[in-house]
Structure 1
Amino acid sequence: MTQPQDLTWLLANLVNQIPHTRSALLLSTDAIPRFYYGLERDDADRLASLASPLCSLVQEVGKCFGGGHGMRQANAELGDGSILAITAASAGSILAVLADSTVNAGVLSYEMQQLGKKVPSSLATPSRSSSAEESRSV
């Protein structure tokens, strides 16, 4: 089995190319930070633990009230005006980005969607249950 590629550079490119973007985090749907840029490790853990259930909640709202299509992206304006944007990046992965209130939210949203489309196999996080089943069968 090959080691996963370090995708921190992709997150750094996203943060650095969009003015007023502070940090980006790629996490698994079960809240495990995989790669992050612009965050300390503890903050990446904290953001992952908050972004995962938020993504799950929005997914369910989309399934129930969005024509059964789940979620494309959710944005939240925080108390200081900064923005939290989350998107389902690819199978089993979530992309969370924090930006200042002056960010162009349309550009941020577009670039997050493009990142998910450009490298979906690289961003995919394998399901834990399939890994556990595979190891039991060996």
Structure 2
Amino acid sequence: MIQQRANFDWMLTNLAKELPQIHQIVVLSSDGLCIARHGGDHDGADRLAAACAGLQSLAAAVATEIPESDGRMRLVVIEVTGGYFYLMAAGAGAYLAVLTDETVEAGLVGARMRDLVVRIGAHLTSPPRHDGRAG
């Protein structure tokens, strides 16, 4: 079960302080539910979480085409005009998404995200929801 959102706030804030080029951080479940966020507004975080659910599904489908792959998405990085988007698996059924500006050191974001996932990954699990309820 995912910890309460307040327990994640300080961890997300620390990541954003380490990399001031970060605009928004979202922790989400595999079905697109925003669990926690830093930066941006609530509606934007919900839209990002929903988009990430589709993206992680697409990435997993593509991964099945790689013979040595187990079909699980670990990291997606998208460069767009003005910045970068990162999506990383962060525990069973949970993901970490980060939006940055274009001045960020791209590899550093992935490394810091990985460090965060290692520290808190066991707490970033989200059981599948049935009829809108976890469990």
TM-score under structure 2 length normalisation: 0.86
Q: Percent identity?
A: 33
Runs of at least 5 residues in structure 2 that lack an aligned partner in the other structure? none
Give the number of equivalent residue pairs: 132
Residues 32-57 of structure 1 deviation map (CA, whole Å, 9 limit, x = unaligned): 00000002010011111111111111
Runs of at least 5 residues in structure 1 that lack an aligned partner in the other structure? none
Equivalents in 2 of 1:67, 1:34: separation in Å?
A: 32
Bigger Rg, which one:
1
- How large is the Cα RMSD of the aligned pairs? 2.3
Once the 2 structures are TM-superposed, how far is the Cα of residue 121 of structure 1 from its aligned partner?
Answer: 1.9
Work out which structure has the larger RCO, using CA pairs closer than 8 Å and 6 or more positions apart in sequence: 2
Equivalents in 1 of 2:58, 2:34: separation in Å?
A: 19
Q: Which secondary structure state, in structure 2, belongs to the residue aligned with residue 90 of structure 1?
A: coil
Q: Which secondary structure state, in structure 1, belongs to the residue aligned with residue 65 of structure 2?
A: helix
Distance 1:66 1:89, change over 3 A: farther
**Amino acid corresponding to residue 47 of structure 2 in structure 1:** R
Q: Which secondary structure state, in structure 1, belongs to the residue aligned with residue 69 of structure 2?
A: coil
Bigger strand fraction: 2
Show structure 1 runs of 4+ deviating over 6 A. 131-134
